[in-house]
């Protein structure tokens, strides 16, 4: 676990990046996939295909801790543009690395995700599939439950939507 003293430094050394798949360098892509594997596959014990073919269509929002020697990925999310088939923007694969939790970085990530969606796709509602235990977290950003609960990889989820700004 990262010390509180180090966390204060980390908050000052976070570098937020937002890139389309083709813009990611090899190390950035590796770190995103590594973090998702650590949280969704190992920590949550879900055996599933994280590499689902959708990364190439996504915009990847993530934070790197430039103050740490190995510059780890701290938090990330995937953002999807609305399409003819799905007229809502989507946010998914939202995570904060375990050692950086409980310090408000998840809130920072979600606010940045919402700001980025509003900038790229103004006046577009947003959909996400939330793990049910995080319902209140997403509701604090204006999301409302629209479906579920349902099991995804053995974890209860709910569909949530948010009106555009």
CB atoms closer than 10 angstroms to residue 7: 18
The string of pLDDT tens digits covering residues 150-160 is 999 889 999 99
Mean pLDDT of 37-63: 92
The DSSP line for 10-60 is HHHHEEEEEEEGGG--HHHHHHHHHHHIIIIIIITT----S--S-GGGSEE
Q: Could you tell me which of 20, 23, 19, 51 has the C-alpha nearest to residue 36?
A: 51
Distance between CA 94 and CA 39 in Å, rounded? 10
At 6 the pLDDT is 52
At 5 the pLDDT is 47
pTM of the model: 0.91
Distance between CA 130 and CA 14 in Å, rounded? 25
Is residue 39 predicted with pLDDT exceeding 80?
Answer: yes
Domain count, the chain: 1
Range of the domain at 117: 4-162
Q: What is the CATH number of the domain that holds 32?
A: 3.40.630.30
């Amino acid at each position: 676990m990262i010390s509180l003293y180090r966390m204060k430094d980390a908050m000052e050394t976070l570098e937020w990046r937002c890139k389309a798949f083709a813009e990611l360098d090899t190390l950035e892509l590796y770190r995103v996939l590594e973090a998702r594997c650590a949280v969704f596959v190992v920590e949550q014990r879900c055996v599933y295909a994280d590499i689902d073919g959708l990364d190439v269509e996504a915009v990847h929002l993530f934070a790197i801790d430039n103050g740490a020697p190995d510059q780890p990925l701290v938090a990330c999310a995937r953002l999807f543009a609305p399409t003819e088939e799905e007229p809502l923007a989507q946010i998914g694969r939202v995570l904060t690395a375990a050692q950086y939790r409980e310090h408000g970085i998840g809130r920072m990530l979600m606010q940045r995700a919402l700001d980025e969606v509003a900038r790229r796709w103004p006046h577009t509602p947003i959909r996400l599939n939330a793990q049910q235990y995080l319902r209140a977290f997403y509701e604090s950003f204006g999301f409302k439950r629209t479906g579920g609960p349902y099991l995804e990889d053995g974890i209860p989820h709910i569909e949530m939507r948010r009106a555009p700004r």
